[in-house]
């Protein structure tokens, strides 16, 4: 009976963590470039149940021989192993703002590969994002909405000296008579990236490989890839599963209390 407690409790905990991930997705449904989190739920290792018994040996002075009779397997619960972002391309919406940029994926050499804007966080470390909601700071540098520098291909902050600049489809920022290539980084396996918040990812990137294509659309933003209707349905399913496990746990608790009281009465 105690094993049933743990199994039901593990189901409740896993559904709670799924609900948290889904709620975070719904919160960011309107965040440009946001990639929805998906939870991977796994079962604990199964146990093989055997009935222990004994049998008489067919000899003159028979003696008992231990006998094991397989009954079946027992699952001991589930857990959320990890949370994995879905890097599918989101819809692109025109904004008409010159500092907004949408990165459209073209042909990529690997199905798990993805392209990202390259930025610099507050600690001076290189990070990657799909959120092209950029602006220009007081010093004339192109930054994210959080103030992180947007980098060029050489890893330097891009200086535009104002909002009047043009970005070509191949990623060249044309401002003050200069052409600066946007820092577009390629991640061979986007699942290796670590999500850090504010739309930033940490990981190892490389230059855009030969044959890979992309398009930069100025005055547009890639939207979140969260499907709000599907997410709401998943939230309802997670809530119902939580309730079911809660009822099982309550039933175990009532049976345990009844067993304890009856045993005490017999004593």
pLDDT at residue number 44:
75
Across the chain, mean pLDDT equals 88
pLDDT at residue number 177:
80
User: Strand pairing partners for 38?
Assistant: 84
pLDDT at residue number 59:
56
Q: Is 98 exposed, middle or buried (0-12, 13-18, 19+ CB in 10 A)?
A: middle
pLDDT at residue number 88:
93
CA dihedral 16, 241, 76, 81 (to 10 degrees): -40
pLDDT at residue number 6:
81
pLDDT at residue number 260:
74
Task: Please provide the DSSP assignment of 220-240 as one string.
Answer: EEEPP---HHHHHHHHHHHHH
pLDDT at residue number 240:
94
pLDDT at residue number 101:
97
pLDDT at residue number 48:
72
> What is the domain partition of the chain in residue ranges?
2-83, 89-222
Which residue ranges of the chain lie beneath pLDDT 70?
1-2, 47, 54-65, 263-267
């Amino acid at each position: 009976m105690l094993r049933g407690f743990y199994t039901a409790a593990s189901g409740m905990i896993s559904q709670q963590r799924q609900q948290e991930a889904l709620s975070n997705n719904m919160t960011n449904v309107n965040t440009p470039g946001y990639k929805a989190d998906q939870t991977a739920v796994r079962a604990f290792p199964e146990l093989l149940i055997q009935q222990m018994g004994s049998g008489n040996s067919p000899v003159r002075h028979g003696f008992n021989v231990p006998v094991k009779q397989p009954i079946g397997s027992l699952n001991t619960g589930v857990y959320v192993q990890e949370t994995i972002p879905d890097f599918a391309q989101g819809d692109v919406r025109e904004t008409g703002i010159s500092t907004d940029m949408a990165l459209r994926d073209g042909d990529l050499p690997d199905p798990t590969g993805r392209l990202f804007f390259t930025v610099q966080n507050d600690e001076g470390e290189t990070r990657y994002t799909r959120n092209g909601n950029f602006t220009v700071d007081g010093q004339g540098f192109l930054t994210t909405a959080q103030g992180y520098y947007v980098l060029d291909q050489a890893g330097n902050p891009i200086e535009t000296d104002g909002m009047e600049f043009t970005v070509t489809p191949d990623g060249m920022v044309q401002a003050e008579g200069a052409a600066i290539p946007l820092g577009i980084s390629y991640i061979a396996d986007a699942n290796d990236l670590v999500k850090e918040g504010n739309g930033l990812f940490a990981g190892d990137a490389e230059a855009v490989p030969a044959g890979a294509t992309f398009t930069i659309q100025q005055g547009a933003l890639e939207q979140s890839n969260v499907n709000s209707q599907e997410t709401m349905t998943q939230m309802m399913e997670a809530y119902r599963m939580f309730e079911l496990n809660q009822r099982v746990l309550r039933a175990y608790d009532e049976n345990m209390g009844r067993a304890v009281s009856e045993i005490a009465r017999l004593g």
